[in-house]
A = this chain, B = another copy of it.
């Protein structure tokens, strides 16, 4: 492994190994609280009696306008959602754009309008940014990095699951990845598939307010299969999922089958996987379902002692859900 390859950026086991062997060597990795060593959705730094949560994501998606969103909406949603996964109300975001020479000014304005609209949905602000322009031979498409800070009373970790907890997913699985690849390949599947790209702080807040959330992670690159495995392994527990309960849209399933892609392994951009204490599960589910981006939420499984992620299949069998080596859809976010 002497060169970086595409799969090192695809959100699965290969990326984790790159991060583990290169970036995790940084010694100045913690400012108090949850630092880089935790490899969680963000970091959480104690400040007074609260925590400042800090997170970042770069967005390299192609195409930049897609059914259900664009790179502007995506860049805000990605960062708002990582803050939310740490239990933090999103407060202030940054906007680092790198633009290829010759990029359309009108498209840039459209992207900035989407940014503003997504911010407005959750009451966050874009407070600072940076602009670079590269020669067109050097870069093929606009890139946006967004970092953000939020405030949490207590950070929620991806490692907080306990045996007995219940696993909720806040809506349908696979919509973003399957719609992007279908759109890119020019496939038509009757109804138009759409990305779920959305800033879901209000949905997450409804869950947090009930008081039983033990762990959260947003199933972005590598999908639900990846985050379930990460949550199980970091929490030292086993997760048992019911195949029958998995909310996958019929058209997503059909497209995924044709493409030979597992919807459990592709990125979602407006969903959370949430661990909840069993005694709070129904109340939490009801609270989530009552929000704009939580209508299709369901309980998909439970946590037990042990390790790994098991799926009880519809026909009564069991199989492991393995983490993907990498998300099967290139440039998905």
Contacts and interface: CB of A to CB of B under 8 A. Distances in A.
Interface stretch (A30-38, A63-71, A264-272): A30-38
A58 interface: yes
Given A27-B116, A103-B3, A145-B56, A45 B140 contact: no
Contacts of A47: 47-48, 52, 151
A62 to B, nearest CB: 8
Contact of A96 (B2, B57, B101, B133): B57
B94 A126 contact: no
Contacts of A212: none
A254 interface: no
Contacts of A108: 4, 22
A135 B8 CA distance: 12
Interface in A108-126: 108-109, 112, 115-116, 119-120, 123-126
Given A26-B119, A58-B130, A5 B101 contact: yes
A57 B3 contact: no
A112 B19 CA distance: 11
Interface in A1-44: 1-10, 15, 18-19, 22-23, 25-31, 34-36, 42-43
A234 interface: no
A56 B115 contact: no
A234 to B, nearest CB: 16
A269 to B, nearest CB: 14
Residue from the set A91, A101, A140, A143 with the largest chain B CB neighbour count within 10 Å: A143
Given A96-B145, A101-B4, A127-B45, A134 B331 contact: yes
Contact of A149 (B116, B135, B149): B149
Nearest to A41: B128
Nearest to A49: B48
Contacts of A297: none
A316 interface: no
Nearest to A101: B6
A261 interface: no
Interface of A: 1-10, 15, 18-19, 22-23, 25-31, 34-36, 42-43, 45, 47-48, 52, 54-58, 60, 91-92, 94-106, 108-109, 112, 115-116, 119-120, 123-135, 137-141, 143, 145, 147, 149, 151, 330-331
14 contacts: A5-B102, A8-B131, A9-B132, A23-B129, A25-B109, A28-B123, A28-B126, A29-B127, A31-B92, A42-B128, A47-B47, A54-B127, A56-B95, A149-B149
